[in-house]
Every structure is written in C-alpha cells, then in structure tokens.
Amino acid sequence: MTTTSATAPTARTAHPRRFLMCAPEHFTVSYEINPWMDAAAPVDAARALAQWHLLRTTFERLGHEVEVVPSAPGLPDMVYAANGALVTPQGSVGVRFAHPERAGEAEAYARWLEEHGLGPVHRPVHVNEGEGDLLVVGEHLLAGHGFRTDLAAHREVEEVLGRPVTSLRLVDPRFYHLDTALTVLDDDPRHPDVAYFPGAFDEASQRTLRELFPHALRTDAATAEVLGMNAVSDGKHVVLSPRAQRYAEQLTERGYVPVPVDLSELLRGGGGAKCCTLVLRD
C-alpha cells in the first residue's frame, strides 16, 4: 500500500470549484431511511430553502461556480446532490440507490450531466450513492461501504474509471455515508489532506487511513454527532456546521479558514454542506 505524506504547506491555497446543487423546493421528511430522519417532526420548508440559498451564495462569495439541477416533485431528498453521481476527468459514474424512495433521482442527475457535457454517464449495476460514498483525495479514490454502497460497486467504479479504489468499511449507522465521517480538506495530489472520525470505521479501515494519511486530523464523537464532518473544503476555506465548534478550532490550528453555515433544517434529512454539494471535475 502506498503511503502518502499529508504534510501540507503553511499557507493554504483556495482552489476554485464548480459545484452542482439542487434547491430543496420539494424537501420534506416523509419517510425514514437513516437515523437522522423523523417523519413525525414537521419540516420548515421556507427555512430549509433559505438555508440552502445561504450555502449557495457562500460558495459563490468564495469564488466558486454553482450550477443548479431542477428539483422534481416526489423526490424530497434530491437536495442532497452529492449522492447524484461521481464526476471525474476519467469519466462520470451515475448512481443506483439502496432505497426505492430515492431511485428516481439517479436518472435526473445522469440526464443533467449528459445534457451539460459531462457524459456519457455510466449507469451502474451495483448500488453506489455517488459522492456520498466515493471521495477523491488527490490520486486516491476512497470508497465507503457497510450501509449504502455495495462493496462490489467499488470494483465496478475501478473498472469504469481505470483508477484504484480504496475500500473503507463504515460501522456506525449514524454515519451511513463516507462523507458523514470524513472531510476531504485538500485534494491536491501534492499534499492531500483529510479529517475523519475514527469511530465511524472498523479497525482495518482505521489502519488504512492511518497508513494513507498519517498526518490526518482525527476528530471526536462530539464533532461527528452534529454531522460536522459533512463539510466542503476548497483547500483553504471549509464550509461546515456552526455546531462543530471544536472542529473549527482544529481546522484553524492547521491553517484552514472555517466558514460556518447553518443547515439545521436540512440536517433533518441526514445531510449537511457536503451532502448538498456535488463536485464537477472536468
């Protein structure tokens, strides 16, 4: 296994990104497919939309380009755009959801990507839930499994993109996607950097992460339990939950700039800043 030096430069550098998002125009919690969801608790739709708009404008203020895929009635979780695909210079991989409630999102995202020059999109045979479980860190492609994405999907993605995939097993149902337990802080191949909550992974996966990223920031349960790891970084600015105060302090100590954005209403569906954001790499 290749060991990566995660020693980062003293001065952090922000890299402009192109993101795909989906407004929560039809967002509600009408079913329960993760521990964060409570169908009996009312959702404030206007507040969810306002929080989403703040996230979008925050990205734009930081210099990033934001594209928006139209939302669709009957698909309340479509706001979680990260689950819509994995888009890389080697190709775009579509998704196949574990739960039938979300199945319709897959083709909506695939069609948008193809219509906007990011296709052809591979329609997967095995269940994978996009950037929820497939995260690019420099030359590494980390892939989660255990709750949503099938382990077999890792090999499928490997074959489609022609790049190796490192499998990581999730063991805590609260952290059902990789992006709820691990933040990609810097995806520059010269100095890749991540933060993660060890308790979300089995022992073998913790060992793998230590080997790949020996200088990674390891967070605590208090950070993970407010979905603090579900954050978006451009290599300098880290957009995260304002409730993840200790995480913000740790990031500051490493030279990153925390940018708190309240997405508490969207957290009712089990998603934070990263869940709402698909990176378009072309």
H/E element holding 227? none
- Preceding amide of 42 cis, omega within 30: no
Q: Which of 177, 191, 237, 276 is catalytic?
A: 177
Q: What is the Cα–Cα distance from 104 to 92, expressed in whole angstroms?
A: 18
**Nearest 5 degrees, angle CA 66-CA 256-CA 245?**
95
Verify whether residue 177 is a known catalytic residue. Answer: yes
Q: What is the DSSP secondary structure assignment for residue 120, as one 8-state letter?
A: P
Reported for 110-115, long-range contacts at CB under 8 A and 24+ positions apart, including other chains, are 110/85, 112/20, 112/69, 112/70, 113/85, 113/87
Q: Which of 122, 140, 145, 275 is catalytic?
A: 275
Q: Find the length of the chain.
A: 282
Q: What are phi and psi of 121, to 5 degrees?
A: -95, 125
Residues recognised as catalytic: 177, 275
